[in-house]
Amino acid sequence: MLNIRNVFSRLKKLFSGDVCGLNAKEGTIVAGLFMLMVSIMQLIFEAGHFRYLTPLDTFGSGDNEDSNLYAFCIGSIIFTCLTIIAVILLFLFIWKEIFWGVAGYITWIFLYEISKICFLSVLMPVNSGLPSSVQALEWFGLTMRLLAHIFWMVFVTAYAIELYKISRNTDDSSKTKRKTPPKLKFAKVKEMGV
């Protein structure tokens, strides 16, 4: 039987970033490692598309399919290299605990996935030089990466919220100034008569 309190407690735990034994910071690190691994695999996969292009001497003959495939490969490789740089910067921002860097990574992931959808739907037509199995593999990889990003963005967003709360508290001088207890005066040994 479905218990509503149990569901709400699990959702609260999910949105707090404490899932699978990982807190928000650890989950963000693993999310960065995941994206680094996926980006390297994507580079290898996209570089393999060049074997389907016709030789360079016939490339200027106005073959639209080859030019679309060439633009797809080059654009995808450029965005994947930028994503590797973004992941390396994410690790730096996690180490330095910079809110805007982690929030910028979230923005970059959304832009990256939107660009990959546009590349797949516009620049890689069905009748391109790629076999249909490679095209299906491209779409399958995009779908699986999007589903994985939904899971990992829970951690990254929770960590960005934590960093935002910390940075907001340190920016406000009235909150950072702690009240110290009064200093206690201790008598010297001579004054105590010992």
Residue 43 Ramachandran class (φ > 0 left, ψ -120 to 50 alpha, else beta):
alpha
Is 100 among the domain residues? yes
Q: Which domain holds residue 130?
A: 23-192
The domain total for the chain is 1
Is 157 among the domain residues? yes
Q: Tell me the one-letter amino acid at 16.
A: S
Is 8 among the domain residues? no
Tokens 């960590």: give the residue: 159
Give per-residue pLDDT as tens, 55-68: 554 445 555 666 77
Give the per-residue pLDDT at 187: 58
Is 128 among the domain residues? yes
User: Is residue 174 over pLDDT 60?
Assistant: no
In whole angstroms, how far apart are CA 96 and each of 46, 112, 154, 163, 172?
33, 24, 21, 11, 20
Reference 48, options 114, 125, 131; nearest CA is: 131
Give per-residue pLDDT as tens, 1-29: 566 667 566 656 665 556 677 888 999 99
In sequence order, the 6+-apart residues with CB closer than 8 A to the CB of 82 are 108, 112
How many Å apart are CA 119 and CA 117, to the nearest integer? Answer: 5
Is 138 among the domain residues? yes
Higher pLDDT, 36 or 3: 36
Give per-residue pLDDT as tens, 120-147: 888 776 656 667 787 888 889 999 999 9
Is 76 among the domain residues? yes
Is 2 among the domain residues? no
